[in-house]
Amino acid sequence: MRKSLRRSLIAAALVAVAVAVPATPAAAQSPTVCSATFHVLHNDYIGSVSLPQGNYRVTVRGGLSCPASTDLFAQFLQDWDGVLPRPWRMSSSRAGQANFARGGTGVGFSVRRVAKGGGGGGGGGGGGRHPAHGLLCPGTFEVLHNDRIGRLRLPMGEYTITLLAINRPTCPRASNLFARFLQRPDGTLPGQWGLDPTTGTFRRGYGNFGFRVKPAFD
């Protein structure tokens, strides 16, 4: 009787331990390689990390989805100073690859430049391409004559508009804002808007609400 009671107590203790320490979800354990590649449209930098133009293979971890990772990567490419929104951190050991981690949560993703097509994925046709996510606005904006906004010189011609984040603002709104800003040659922009003349970037406040302009035909 005593042995039977002892075995029952041990079994109950083991069940309690199993309940108190749940299994780690598989999504948080195993990194997942996204099927489509992300196309970096031109030689770019995030801080001191060089990310040459080309297709990048994206690997997610910690339950982060592939669409979410490519949205984040597109936003981080606008952070030329390498200061990412908290709690995100970046590390890199060589040009053409980078690792992004959301604090110490285990959530993050890595990118690595690959040959065109990426060796069996989406061939660059889906997932992370800027046009597929709406960051590069369709069409062009025509500057009718040589113009300027503060220290940003804008020769007459066609310009592309690239959003810093999806629908922040929308493409039509960004186009309207650019037209308004062209009416301010002294560079004094309304509200919390600021301008980085070296990159043609208009940003409201310190977040990723804004857009970048550049000649459509360099």
**Cβ distance 116 to 55 under 8 Å?**
yes
Q: Among residues of the chain, what percentage have pLDDT more than 70?
A: 74
The average confidence (pLDDT) of the chain is 77
Q: Which residue has the tokens 């970096």?
A: 40
pLDDT at 43: 82
pTM score > 0.75 for this model?
A: no
**Cβ distance 182 to 148 under 8 Å?**
no
**Cβ distance 49 to 96 under 8 Å?**
no
User: pLDDT for 151-166, tens place per residue?
Assistant: 999 999 999 998 887 7
